[in-house]
């Protein structure tokens, strides 16, 4: 074994590295755009005269529409290609994030957040499917860990944008920065290749697990009996893979309830005065604390891939969730800024790093003809079922304060860990 854990990147082909970069940047900028809303909640409460519960509903609307976006872009990815769907999803979430800056009231902002959710829901499944089908089994976990780590960088970028832009130009300008990801699509169109597995399936053949840049052995497509039309094909796969779909969907719903309930409100929790249930940090201080948390989040994403490649997907996934369930209430009960600074990266490491595992597991559970649709369906319908989390936490915060309300998030992580015990182990599985 190499002494340098990053040698897998140097050993990859240039086409594989471009796919990895495109998917990582897409997810990073997705994370930036969706998090910009969390960074401006405090100002929205004042300027648009919103209650915490209403602000939570706006975040929940984005999650609801992401379920539809995940299905629509998943179907597009399975029919028209991973790369095409990836570009479309990035354009949608970036353009409508910028549109949020033109909102004159609650209704307009709600409409734009719904449209942001469509693109946001499509990006993850299409990018993760493209990477999982391009990289070989022995490095798939590490590669998907790199992709997931982009979200942490995007979250940190959102905090930095808010700190630099909002004091000078206000919350509207923060949203305008969200149009930047649209530029990425020009490079993806010119520099990123389509999935070889998807191309082979469209030609009626399977490629094995060799990845771009390696010789492929063609064999008849084992799913030749799948209906040709989109709706019939989706129904056939849902019936054939009903049990793993239901398990991963419920498991991810619990994990996402915990994540969105916690991380939607952490910027507000840090910035609100103590009398209002917060910790009284300034915008600049909150941004520093949030960026520090993202360092822990990034490490959690990346290390999951290495650990799960060595020890197995299921064991690593359950461990991350259980540790997160313990850490959340400890973080919520912390009062000093120093304790929050220390505990925050640990919460982010375990409370977010497990999403790498979800991407790996779902990529390895489902076939090429259904992979992007299945990943979009289970991940984004998980978002749909968890969409009430920001609203529920906001509602509880009105009664008890944000700290006590975060206890609900710890429960969500624990339930997800229990459901994950029913997963099969997929490490080393060859994609077909």
- Note the pLDDT tens digit of each residue in 332-347: 887 777 778 888 899 9
CATH architecture group of domain 15-191+229-420: Up-down Bundle (1.20)
Q: For 387-430, how does the pLDDT look when each residue is reduced to its tens digit (9 = 90+)?
A: 788 878 888 877 777 778 888 999 999 999 999 999 888 887 77
**Which is nearest to 67 in space by CA: 252, 229, 321?**
252
User: Span 132-142, mean pLDDT?
Assistant: 83
Terminal C-alpha separation, the chain: 27
25-34, 68-77, 328-337, 412-421: which has the highest mean pLDDT?
412-421
The predicted structure's pLDDT at residue 314: 93
Q: Which token pair is 311?
A: 């020890």
The overall longest dimension of the chain from CA atoms, in Å, is 67
CB–CB of 411/101 below 8 Å?
no
**Is residue 392 a contact partner of residue 56, using CB atoms and an 8 Å limit?**
yes
Query: What are the extents of the domains in the chain?
Result: 15-191+229-420
**161-215 pLDDT tens trace:** 888 888 888 889 999 988 888 888 888 888 888 888 888 877 765 444 444 444 3
Q: Does the pLDDT of residue 290 top 80, yes or no? A: no
Share of the chain above pLDDT 90, in %: 17
Residue 219 has pLDDT above 80, yes or no: no
Residue with the larger pLDDT of the pair 294 and 222: 294
Residue 17, pLDDT above cutoff 60: yes
Predicted confidence (pLDDT) at residue 222 exceeds the cutoff of 70: no
Confidence at residue 417, expressed as pLDDT on a 0 to 100 scale:
96
Whether 307 has a pLDDT exceeding 50, the answer reads yes
pLDDT category of residue 432 using cuts at 50, 70 and 90 = low
pLDDT score recorded for residue 274: 66
| Overall pTM > 0.75 | no
- Please say whether the beta carbons of 384 and 91 come within 8 A: no
Q: How far apart are CA 206 and CA 235, in angstroms?
A: 22
The mean pLDDT of the chain is 81
Q: How confident is the model at residue 11 (pLDDT cuts 50, 70, 90)?
A: confident
């Amino acid at each position: 074994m190499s002494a340098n854990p990053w040698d897998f990147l140097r050993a990859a082909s240039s086409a594989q590295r471009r796919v990895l970069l495109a998917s990582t940047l897409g997810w990073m900028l997705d994370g930036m755009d969706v998090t910009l809303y969390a960074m401006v909640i405090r100002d929205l409460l004042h300027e648009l005269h919103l209650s915490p519960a209403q602000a939570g509903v706006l975040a929940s609307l984005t999650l609801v529409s992401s379920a539809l976006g995940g299905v629509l872009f998943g179907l597009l990815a399975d029919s028209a290609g991973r790369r095409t769907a990836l570009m479309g999803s990035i354009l949608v979430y970036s353009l409508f994030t910028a549109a949020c800056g033109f909102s004159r009231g609650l209704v307009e902002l709600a409409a734009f957040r719904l449209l942001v959710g469509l693109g946001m829901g499509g990006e993850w499944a299409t990018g993760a499917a493209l990477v999982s089908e391009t990289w070989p089994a022995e490095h798939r976990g590490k590669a998907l860990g790199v992709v997931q780590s982009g979200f942490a960088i995007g979250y940190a970028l959102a905090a930095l944008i808010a700190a630099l832009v909002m004091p000078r130009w206000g919350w509207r300008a923060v949203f305008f920065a969200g149009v930047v990801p649209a530029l990425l699509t020009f490079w993806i169109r010119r520099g990123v290749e389509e999935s070889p597995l998807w191309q082979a399936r469209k030609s009626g053949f399977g490629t094995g697990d060799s990845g771009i840049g390696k010789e492929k052995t063609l064999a008849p497509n084992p799913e030749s009996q799948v209906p040709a039309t989109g709706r019939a094909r989706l129904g056939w796969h849902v019936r054939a893979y009903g049990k793993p779909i239901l398990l991963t969907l419920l498991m991810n719903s619990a994990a996402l309830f915990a994540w969105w309930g916690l991380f939607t409100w952490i910027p507000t929790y840090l910035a609100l005065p103590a009398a209002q249930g917060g910790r009284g940090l300034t915008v600049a201080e909150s941004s520093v604390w949030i960026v520090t948390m993202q360092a822990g989040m990034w490490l959690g994403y990346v290390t999951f891939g290495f650990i799960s490649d060595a020890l197995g997907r299921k064991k690593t996934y359950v461990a991350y969730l259980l540790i997160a369930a313990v850490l959340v209430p400890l973080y919520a009960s912390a009062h000093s800024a120093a304790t929050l600074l220390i505990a925050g990266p640990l919460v982010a490491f375990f409370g977010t790093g497990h999403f790498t595992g979800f991407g790996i597991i779902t990529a390895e559970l489902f076939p090429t003809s259904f992979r992007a649709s299945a990943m979009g369906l289970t991940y984004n319908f998980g978002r749909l079922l968890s969409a009430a989390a920001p609203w529920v936490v906001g509602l509880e915060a009105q009664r008890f304060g944000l700290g006590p309300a975060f206890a609900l998030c710890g429960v969500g992580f624990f339930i997800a860990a229990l459901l994950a015990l029913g997963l099969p182990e997929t490490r080393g599985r060859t994609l077909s």
